[in-house]
Amino acid sequence: MDSIPFEDRSRPFFERLGATVGKTFTDPVGLFSHVEGADIGPPLVYGLLIGVVGWVFGAVWQLVFGNILSVLEPEGAAEAMVLNTGMVLLLTLFSPLLVTIGLFISAGIYHLMLLIVGDGSRGFAITFRAVAYGSTPNLLGVVPFCGGIVGGIWAIVVTIIGAKTAHGTDALRAILAYFIPLLLCCGLLALAFSMAGFLAFAD
């Protein structure tokens, strides 16, 4: 039997939604144990709901604090508030599309990295579940200031736990696969700055 309550369609929607959120925070290992299925529909719906809720609250805080800062600078305050409000509303309007794209890109990159380190053999759908359900802590973004940071870090931990547990891999591979893209980006940035510095001194 699948261990993810949200995929148990015999239960009411909000009951399985709440059960999955609760289990993500209290028992992530149990959540991802015995995960089966190639259907990415349920995790997509779940990840979309979590992502949009987190995005909306993040937009609200950005709107509130952005407009407060605009008021503190009287010159051009009205224009700044209109621009800030417009950008926030526009991004919120497109948040479902952006969240969906983000889920597929994140899961695709993570799955590719898992394959590179010699795992991920259970398929993309399993990795997608780890990413989608692992995003649950992003709900902490409803708390201003530190909520988004704490939630983001916690989401990384849960996603790695999900990949490790669902794919049956070891922790080192799951962690390495997650951070390889970040390490590559840092390496490329360091190389770019080094080249720029070298060219500057060469001139």
Per-position pLDDT tens, the chain of length 203: 457 999 998 899 999 999 999 999 999 999 999 888 788 999 999 999 999 988 888 777 777 666 565 555 656 556 666 666 777 777 778 889 999 999 999 999 999 999 999 888 889 999 999 999 999 999 988 887 788 889 999 999 999 999 999 998 889 999 999 999 888 888 888 888 888 777 777 65
Are 58 and 152 in contact by the 8 Å Cβ rule? The answer is: no
User: Phi/psi of residue 141, each to 5°?
Assistant: -65, -10
Single pTM value for the model:
0.83
CB 99, CB 145: distance < 8 Å: no
